[in-house]
Amino acid sequence: MKYMTGIVAMLLLVAGPLRAQTAAAPQKIYDIAAFVWPSYHPDDRAKIFWPDGIGEWQTVLHNQPKFEGHDQPRFPLWGPVNEADRYVMEMQIAAAADHGVNVFIYDWYWYDRMPFLEGCLNDGFLKAGNNHRMKFYLMWANHDVGLNWDKRNADDAFTKKNKALVWKGSLDRAEFEKIAHRWIEKYFSQPTYYKINGKPVFMLYDLNKFIEGLGGVEQAKDALAWFRAEVQKAGFPGLELQLSMRRDNKKNLSGVAGDNIGTQKDLVEKLGFDSLTHYQFCHCVDVNRDYNAIMKDVVPLWNEIAAGYKARYYAHVSVGWDSSPRSYHVKGAIVKNNTPDNFEQALRAAKAYVDAHPGQAPLITINSWNEWTETSYLEPDTKYGYGYLEAVRNVFGGAPATK
């Protein structure tokens, strides 16, 4: 609450003892989880997209407006820092936690039988001296990779003139078991890993690719049952399996060999997902318009999903969307008027949703901490400063620093 109306002030003045009792009550803690796109650090495998060796900062630093009035480029206030440096990450953790962001959701990649872009998490976050101030969990970003990340070829990739595939996101059972053990042993075991009721939270990004790789719905179901059992063998009470949803158009999804494998809702129930959220507004609503108009569709959507699915839904808020920095000419959909003030109002709607669902974790997901080339970030920039982070703190408060 920024300001106190005269009526509220008078009521609090009259109810002196009640006021003192209320003030002593502990403040509710919300789990504000921001997705992290871990591409802003040197990575030898990433040089095929960003040959300068600084990750996708190469694209950010060479961004230009595409048309008159285009609100680009957007530059980070902190500059092009190496997010796989533990000292840089300590600064970022402090800024996040001070403003109420207390969970990072790391996009996690595995291509050609080896990890990709793990440095931000392994060498940055996990080695940071203050990472006890935050939790983290993984979202397996199991999507195909074309040339969209490579600005030299992105225009043709976005327009489908060049459909070249760099890496496939689908994996077979043997490879899935290999990486599942990596998640359990290397990450779930960390004291800072985010859990709900003691269960490590793990998010899947691309449902179709997962089923495709395993060979079908029944095979995917069996693989997930195995995964849950392995998590329990490791000493956890279970697994909180979460899905990054897409637009629910009630249509059957295309599966292996083009067979219809059921609707998104069918598959959520068949595969036993425990919870749902979104990765980006662009996955569920039209984002080529004003931010406030988008929110008028988003809030009813939260409630529709919560009422229509057995799995719990956790509210998602995106800061914005404009992926044009990745191309030279293609602009695509662009969110307008996503100011820190309007973003703050979206967060207040998400807070109200959480408060209306007391039977589930107080979790809200945000896109994102640092998606500079999709223009959806909380990190401070040269346009709004710490405005987006201050919006989070205005709604949820910040966490005091601890030793």
Please state, in angstroms and as integers, the Cα–Cα distance from residue 170 to each residue in 112, 213, 214, 334, following that order: 10, 4, 8, 30
Q: Report pLDDT for 401.
A: 58
Residues 6+ apart with CB under 8 A from 400: none
Q: Report pLDDT for 400.
A: 63
Question: Under the phi-then-psi rule, with left for phi > 0, alpha for psi from -120 to 50, and beta for the rest, what region is 69?
Answer: left
* pLDDT tens digit at each of 403 positions of the chain: 333 333 233 222 223 333 333 344 568 999 999 999 999 999 999 999 999 999 999 999 999 999 999 999 999 999 999 999 999 999 999 999 999 999 999 999 999 999 999 999 999 999 999 999 999 999 999 999 999 999 999 999 999 999 999 999 999 999 999 999 999 999 999 999 999 999 999 999 999 999 999 999 999 999 999 999 999 999 999 999 999 999 977 777 755 545 678 899 999 999 999 999 999 999 999 999 999 999 999 999 999 999 999 999 999 999 999 999 999 999 999 999 999 999 999 999 999 999 999 999 999 999 999 999 999 999 999 999 999 999 999 999 987 655 4
Half-sphere exposure of 366 (CA within 13 A, CB side): 30
Structural domains of the chain, ranges and CATH numbers in brackets: 28-396 (3.20.20.80)
The sign of the CA dihedral 11, 16, 21, 24 is positive
Q: Report pLDDT for 357.
A: 98
Q: Report pLDDT for 215.
A: 96
By CB atoms closer than 10 A (0-12, 13-18, 19+), residue 69 is: exposed
Backbone angles phi, psi at 276, to 5 degrees: -135, 150
Q: Report pLDDT for 261.
A: 83
Q: Report pLDDT for 249.
A: 72
- Report the SS3 class of residue 138: strand
pLDDT in tens, 284-298: 999 999 999 999 999
Q: Are 209 and 143 in contact (CB under 8 A)?
A: yes
Q: 105, 107, 182: which is closest to 136 by C-alpha?
A: 105
Percentage of the chain exceeding pLDDT 90: 87
